[in-house]
A and B are shown apart, each in its own frame.
Chain A
Amino acid sequence: MFAIASMNGIVIGVIYALSALGVSLVVGIMNVVNFAHGEFYILAGYFSYLFATALGMNLLAAMTLAVAIVFVFGLLVEYTLIRPTYGDDLYSLILTFILSIVLQNAYLLIFGPYPNKPPGWVRGATDIFGLFMYGNQRLAALVAGTCVIVFVFAMIKLTWFGRIIRATSQDRGMAELNGVNTTRLNMLSFGLGCALAAAAGVILAPVFPVTPTAGVPVALTAFVVVVLGGMGSLRGCIVGGLTLGLVENLGAAYLSTGYKHVFGFIILILVLAIRPSGLFGHKEA
């Protein structure tokens, strides 16, 4: 029991971290909470389903194209909705909140109420050390998710893009003086945030099929992870995701399956009460 609970906690934790990565990035750089994060995730799931199933595209190509389209869509949303709200972070929250409801209902009209699932990459399950059986698609999602997370970390730590993102998040005006076009960077990073939501979407859709409203719980856990880990801290995002995954699964294993998600919130409240800025957060001046 403990073994599978921990294993599942880690897998789900990585999945949570992956889903929260985009939110964390956008909060960190732009101080904008993208409430419609879950809907971008779902959109990518739908696209990868459409391309792979209806158009019969190669799986990898379908996924890449889906992420690319959501990225462009993210750029558009930044341009039309988010950009005018810079400096008023609460207003962007209101706008993206409304956007999320609009998208949910648009999906319902376009894709219908039934769940959609792109084909799995692998089939079957693996026997883990003779302890328990574990779905292969989940293991694949774990690997893919870890790759995306490592990729994002590498990008942030090692490339110019990461450097200017970090600089901009610390001092936007100064970055501008150093020659960074922060307007374009914002657009790009919002797009990237959406693309990360999309990456999570295409990786997870074969495990958890997408429905018009399935984005809500995704976004909700992403927010919990981000607040838990500390606003805008990527490291916090990973630790937050893993903490949440483990707490929920161990709680479900030993306490109550019905209250699984409440355990996560309880941890969140405890952390906030003790460290108001989250595990890795900095208190804003």
Chain B
Amino acid sequence: WSSDTIKVGVVGPRTGGAAATGKAFEEGIQLATDYVNAKGGVLNKKLEIVFEDTAGAPDKAASGFERLATRDKVVMVLGESHSSAALAEIEVANRLGIPFMVVEAWADPITAKNYRYVFRAGPSNSGVVNDTIAKWVAAEQFKKVAIVAENTDWGLGIAELTEKAMDKAGVPYLTVTTERKSQDHYMELTKLKAFDPDAVLAFVYGTGLHYFVAQAGEVGLTPKAIILDGAGPPSLWPDFWPNVGEYGDLECFVSSMHEKVELTELATQFRKSYVEAFGKAPTDYKSRSMFDAILIAADAINRAGSVDAEKLVEALEKTDLTVTRGKVTFGTEKGGPEYHHWMPPMLVIQWQNKEQVVLFPAEGATGKLKR
């Protein structure tokens, strides 16, 4: 057909419990398309993004993905923040032969399945646990840690990886699961308090984390123990402070973005154009992750010189591009989750008087852990 645009699909939750992520994705999409199209677009055509809502549900995600491929005829699909949805989507991508770049879904099997059409330009659970969390725990010399897992695939999965890492490091731990929908964590917290850990690795997503942090303060678990928010964003959400009040101070989180520390020049530029476009500083780093993904995709399409799926996969495998979070290269060795995966650097940040202080890695640190 003749069209003056090239369509790329995006999947992500615009409704449902994680609709906030959809919002962040939209912001990233807006900034990235402006950026790409201002530089001449892709293959001399305009880049057009079609955003399909998955509502965070795997079955909706699978049919949404299929819809993008069969109805909208997109050349490539990006996005996703739910591992469960992504795991459904990679099956469709593989079946239909559509390149799919996962952005913010962390489950290892997404790339560990070694599907030819599936890439990941974002963190994986094992990456986050082994490269960041375990190392940080070792660096801070915590004696005892507690692991809190919400009863979802992500929570239970990452908790299991963390248990393994703690076993390896010889750090004693206690794992407590909590119901995802529960608003009241007093009983879980009481169990934790009895264990008396130095740090609590909390794999609880969204508002649940806010409840958890606030209630941990109420029952007196913190500030003696330090909470690490394993998922990053909830501690950066605009309502984090209203929800947790003073109990948010000294809370730590894993993030690929920091308000001051920028690893690349593009990141500084991103921040500037974000503030221009939306009149506020970026909070949810997922907008930047999406921005990066679109840049990677546009680069690959241009290098492939075609929208043919095979050529796109080859071009992606050869990616060597600097985006906001650093230089992207995808692993090509089959057998593990590193295949087709680029793990961006992650930071451990602590709230100190509502200021973000980078604790880890040491080379980026702007301060020391306060307790």
- Select the stretch in A27-35, A179-187, A207-215 that faces chain B: A207-215
**Does B322 belong to the interface (CB within 8 Å)?**
no
In angstroms, Cα B260 to Cα A268, docked, is 53
**Does B355 belong to the interface (CB within 8 Å)?**
no
Q: Which of A1, A120, A136 contacts B190 (CB 8 A)?
A: A1
Q: Which of A113, A117, A214, A261 contacts B20 (CB 8 A)?
A: A113
**Does A8 belong to the interface (CB within 8 Å)?**
yes
**Does A56 belong to the interface (CB within 8 Å)?**
no
Q: Which of A120, A217, A256 contacts B183 (CB 8 A)?
A: A217
Scan residues 115-153 of chain A and give those whose CB is less than 8 A from a CB of chain B: 115-117, 119-120, 123-125, 132-138
**Does A249 belong to the interface (CB within 8 Å)?**
yes
In angstroms, Cα B338 to Cα A261, docked, is 39
In angstroms, Cα B238 to Cα A114, docked, is 8
- CB A104 to nearest CB in B, in angstroms, measures 10
Scan residues 201-241 of chain B and give those whose CB is less than 8 A from a CB of chain A: 207, 210-211, 214-215, 217-220, 237-239
Given contacts A115-B207, A209-B207, contact A257 B184 (CB under 8 A): no
Give the nearest-CB partner of B16 in chain A: A213
- CB B16 to nearest CB in A, in angstroms, measures 8
Please, which residues of chain A bring their CB within 8 A of the CB of B214?
A: 135
Given contacts A125-B218, A135-B218, A217-B183, contact A105 B15 (CB under 8 A): yes
The number of A-B residue pairs with CB atoms under 8 Å apart is 102
Please, which residues of chain A bring their CB within 8 A of the CB of B188?
A: 252, 257
Scan residues 34-93 of chain A and give those whose CB is less than 8 A from a CB of chain B: 53
**Does A99 belong to the interface (CB within 8 Å)?**
no
- CB A227 to nearest CB in B, in angstroms, measures 20
Please, which residues of chain B bring their CB within 8 A of the CB of A165?
A: none
Interface size class of B (residues with CB under 8 A): 35 or more
Scan residues 167-184 of chain B and give those whose CB is less than 8 A from a CB of chain A: 176-179, 181-184
Q: Which of A114, A137, A258 contacts B239 (CB 8 A)?
A: A114
In angstroms, Cα B207 to Cα A232, docked, is 33
Complex interface bits, B310-332 against A, C-beta within 8 A gives 1, otherwise 0? 00000000000000000000000
Do the beta carbons of A258 and B179 come within 8 Å of each other?
A: yes
Do the beta carbons of B15 and A257 come within 8 Å of each other?
A: no
Do the beta carbons of B215 and A135 come within 8 Å of each other?
A: yes
Please, which residues of chain B bring their CB within 8 A of the CB of A271?
A: none
**Does B50 belong to the interface (CB within 8 Å)?**
no
Give the nearest-CB partner of B207 in chain A: A115
Complex interface bits, A262-275 against B, C-beta within 8 A gives 1, otherwise 0? 00000000000000
**Does A253 belong to the interface (CB within 8 Å)?**
yes
Q: Which of A119, A134, A209, A258 contacts B219 (CB 8 A)?
A: A134
Complex interface bits, B182-195 against A, C-beta within 8 A gives 1, otherwise 0? 11101110110010
Do the beta carbons of A208 and B211 come within 8 Å of each other?
A: yes
Do the beta carbons of A257 and B177 come within 8 Å of each other?
A: yes
Majority SS at the chain A contact face: mixed
Please, which residues of chain B bring their CB within 8 A of the CB of A117?
A: 239, 242-243
Scan residues 222-268 of chain A and give those whose CB is less than 8 A from a CB of chain B: 249, 252-253, 256-258, 260-261
Do the beta carbons of A257 and B20 come within 8 Å of each other?
A: no
- CB A195 to nearest CB in B, in angstroms, measures 22
In angstroms, Cα B191 to Cα A283, docked, is 42
**Does A26 belong to the interface (CB within 8 Å)?**
no
Interface size class of A (residues with CB under 8 A): 35 or more
Q: Which of A12, A138, A256 contacts B218 (CB 8 A)?
A: A138
Given contacts A115-B243, A117-B239, contact A258 B218 (CB under 8 A): no
Majority SS at the chain B contact face: helix
Do the beta carbons of A5 and B187 come within 8 Å of each other?
A: yes
**Does B305 belong to the interface (CB within 8 Å)?**
no
Q: Which of B18, B183, B187, B238 contacts A208 (CB 8 A)?
A: B183
Complex interface bits, A1-14 against B, C-beta within 8 A gives 1, otherwise 0? 10011001000100
**Does B17 belong to the interface (CB within 8 Å)?**
yes
Give the nearest-CB partner of A3 in chain B: B190
**Does B266 belong to the interface (CB within 8 Å)?**
no
**Does B23 belong to the interface (CB within 8 Å)?**
yes
- The listed residue with most A CB atoms (<10 A of its CB), out of B184, B214, B219, is B184
- CB B80 to nearest CB in A, in angstroms, measures 17
- CB A127 to nearest CB in B, in angstroms, measures 8
Do the beta carbons of A211 and B190 come within 8 Å of each other?
A: no
**Does B245 belong to the interface (CB within 8 Å)?**
yes
**Does A108 belong to the interface (CB within 8 Å)?**
yes
Please, which residues of chain B bring their CB within 8 A of the CB of A112?
A: 19-20, 23
Give the nearest-CB partner of B17 in chain A: A213
Q: Which of B187, B242, B243 contacts A260 (CB 8 A)?
A: B187
Please, which residues of chain A bring their CB within 8 A of the CB of B15?
A: 105, 108
In angstroms, Cα B151 to Cα A261, docked, is 13
Do the beta carbons of B210 and A253 come within 8 Å of each other?
A: no
Please, which residues of chain A bring their CB within 8 A of the CB of B178?
A: 257-258
In angstroms, Cα B344 to Cα A114, docked, is 26
Question: Given A252-B188, A261-B181, 7 more contacts at CB 8 Å?
Answer: A1-B190, A112-B19, A125-B217, A133-B218, A136-B218, A209-B207, A258-B177
5 contacts between A and B (CB under 8 A): A116-B242, A124-B218, A133-B218, A138-B218, A257-B187
Could you tell me which B residues sit within 8 Å of A by CB distance?
15-20, 22-23, 151, 176-179, 181-184, 186-188, 190-191, 194, 207, 210-211, 214-215, 217-220, 237-239, 242-243, 245-246
A-B pairs, top 6 by smallest CB distance, nearest first, are A135-B218, A113-B19, A252-B187, A133-B220, A208-B183, A115-B207
Could you tell me which A residues sit within 8 Å of B by CB distance?
1, 4-5, 8, 12, 53, 105, 108, 112-117, 119-120, 123-125, 132-138, 208-209, 211, 213-214, 217, 249, 252-253, 256-258, 260-261
